[in-house]
Amino acid sequence: MKPVTIGLLGLGTVGQGVANILTRNAAEIERRTGRSIRLTRAAVRNKAKAEALNLGIDITTDAQSLVSDPDIDIVCEAMGGDDPALSLLHSAIANGKHVITANKALIAVHGNELFRAASEKGVTIAFESAVAGGIPIIKALREGLTANRIEWLVGIINGTGNFILSEMAEKGRTFDDVLAEAQELGYAEADPTFDVEGIDAAHKLAIMASVAFGMPLQFDAVYTEGISQITREDVEFAEELGYRIKHLGVARRRKEGVELRVHPTLIPERRLLANVNGVMNAIVVHGDAVGPTLYYGAGAGSEPTGSAMVADIIDAVRCLDADPAHRVPTLAFQPDALTPHVMLDTANYQSAYYLRLHALDQPGVLATVTDIFGKLGISIEAILQKEPEMVGELSDDSIEVPNVPIILLTRRVREGLIETAIERIEALSTITQPVTRIRVESL
């Protein structure tokens, strides 16, 4: 039988991972599929650099020629960005190619239109590598858990962010120093603000929620907060209270609607997710029949991500001769059964909270603060008052009133109430800085 031919768009971290795996495991993969799969062409920006990899394939800078090449069966996109990736994928689909992409930004924002185009043309579009790198989470949600009504999923889904938080906590390294290393290791996005501001995690959460709950992609509905405001102080205070800070994605179905949010979170240190470190990702998925299930593995990096992309290639090869109607639907549900869900307003999210305040070290300050909580009916779980901080130089006749950091942990409460409490606390003349607020999940 004729080999199946692959064309790669982009030969960077992920593209090279795909090329290496297809070459090294060619025989193993052929034993699994009964077909020989060959990477024959790659479109790149820098031809000389790509040729120096000695892959023995055709290298071109004309990506359009690759997606319209009649000798290519499957197009794998690992170049990133919107333009020209989106138009290239549309061309590939229009030319009847099966399409595989690692580009979560593209799928989260333009997935609905790409899926429609692929369905009309009868080709597959697959994106396992776009979510949580090497972890087969899309496969698990689409196939392994398909008997379940999935109720919620919670995960650490950005490798760069988790690497930064872990190194800050374990080795006392600075944010910028660890981010630079994550970039060198090929974990970070081309624009690393996607990683540190939570946008990459929001892309992945939007994709997982669609597959889990059977709704069209709704990236704009994801509440997004990153880790760039997390300080060493918060990491240390959290540890003193028995917690670790992780960046979590949470998708939950509730009676009133769906909650989609990504943000830093305090997790009790004994929990599994609190112990997922470095570039590793982990996702807990709760199905009504199976209960909680856990998926763990490398969330970024060349071969872990390549592993997921090659798995998608293998799936596509297995489907080459199948009637499109018999394929697993792209988002796990029949396209005409995808229903947009009501998104909960953030004021209706529920969580416990860690609050860090800086107050003048004067009698009665703590009582005023706790009174605000009492009046709003918010219960306090723990209070930690730290040593006073002297903030400036004293002249001979002045008396400085030092600042005291106060850490409060609340019980679970509606987010709208916490916002009101923070507004009232910040309005006190004894409070000297904006309040830091981090959600707490006991999972």
Ligand X SMILES: N[C@@H](CC=O)C(=O)O
Ligand Y SMILES: NC(=O)C1=CN([C@@H]2O[C@H](COP(=O)(O)OP(=O)(O)OC[C@H]3O[C@@H](n4cnc5c(N)ncnc54)[C@H](O)[C@@H]3O)[C@@H](O)[C@H]2O)C=CC1
Q: Considering only residues 296 through 335, tell me which ones interact with Na ion, judged by CB under 5 A.
A: 308
- Piece of 79-87, 187-195, 229-237, 387-395 that binds ligand X (CB under 6 A): 187-195
* Options 137-145, 183-191, 209-217, 434-442: segment touching ligand X (CB under 6 A): 183-191
Name the burial class of residue 166, with classes exposed (0-12), middle (13-18) and buried (19+) by CB atoms within 10 angstroms of its CB.
buried
Evaluate whether 38 touches 25 at the Cβ level (below 8 Å): no
Q: Per rule CB under 6 A, is residue 205 in the interface with ligand Y?
A: no
430 binds ligand X, rule: CB under 6 A: no
The CA-atom distances, in angstroms, between 249 and each of 45, 157, 222, 260, 266 are 34, 7, 9, 8, 13
Sketch the per residue contact string, 296 through 335, with ligand X: x for CB under 6 A, - otherwise.
Answer: ---xx-----------------------------------
2 is in an annotated binding site: no
Residue 410 backbone class (left: φ over 0; alpha: ψ -120 to 50; beta: rest): beta
Strands 403-410 and 380-385: antiparallel
Please, which residue, 131 or 422, has the CB nearer to Na ion? 131
The footprint of ligand X on residues 131-150 (CB under 6 A) is 133
Binding-residue total with ligand X (CB under 6 A): 11
- How many residues sit in the footprint of ligand Y (CB under 6 A)? 27
The verdict on whether residue 189 carries a ligand-binding annotation is yes
Whether 351 contacts 413, CB under 8 Å: yes
Could you say which of ligand X, ligand Y, Na ion, none residue 160 binds, taking C-beta under 5 to 8 angstroms by partner kind? ligand X
Active-site residue identified among 97, 139, 204, 246? 204
Q: Which partner, ligand X, Na ion, ligand Y, none, binds residue 13 by CB below 5 to 8 Å per kind?
A: ligand Y
Interface mask toward ligand Y for 128-167; x: CB under 6 A: -xx--x----------------------------------
- Which residue lies nearer to ligand Y by CB, 45 or 411? 45
- Contact partner, 128, from Na ion, ligand Y, ligand X, none, Cβ < 5-8 Å per class: Na ion
Nearest 5°: CA angle at 196, between 195 and 202?
55
357 is an interface residue for Na ion by CB under 5 A = no
Residue 311 binding: pick among Na ion, ligand X, ligand Y, none (C-beta 5-8 Å cut-off by kind): none
Q: Name which of ligand Y, ligand X, Na ion, none residue 273 binds, using a CB cut-off of 5 to 8 Å depending on partner kind.
A: none
Determine, following the binding rule CB under 6 A, whether residue 280 of this chain makes contact with ligand X.
no
CA distance 307 to 421: 47
Identify residues 31-90 at the interface with ligand Y (CB under 6 A): 43-45, 63, 78-80, 84
Q: Does 195 bind ligand X (CB under 6 A)?
A: yes
Catalytic: 204? yes
Report the site for Na ion in 105-134 (rule: CB under 5 A): 128, 131-132
* Closer to ligand Y by Cβ: residue 186 or 292: 186
Region 300-319 residues binding ligand Y, contact defined as CB under 6 A: 300-301, 305
CB of 292 to ligand X, least distance (A): 23
Identify what 287 binds: Na ion, ligand Y, ligand X, none; CB under 5 to 8 Å per kind.
none
Q: How far is the CB of 105 from ligand X (least distance, A)?
A: 10
List of residues 6+ apart from 357 with CB closer than 8 A: 369, 405, 406, 407, 408, 425, 431, 433, 435
Q: Closest-CB residue for ligand Y? A: 12
Q: 185 or 380, CB closer to ligand Y?
A: 185
Residue selected from 4, 6, 8, 10 as contacting ligand Y according to rule CB under 6 A: 10
- Binding stretches for ligand Y (CB under 6 A): 10-15, 43-45, 63, 78-80, 84, 102-104, 129-130, 133, 186-187, 189-190, 300-301, 305
Binding residues for L-homoserine: 189
Active site residues: 204
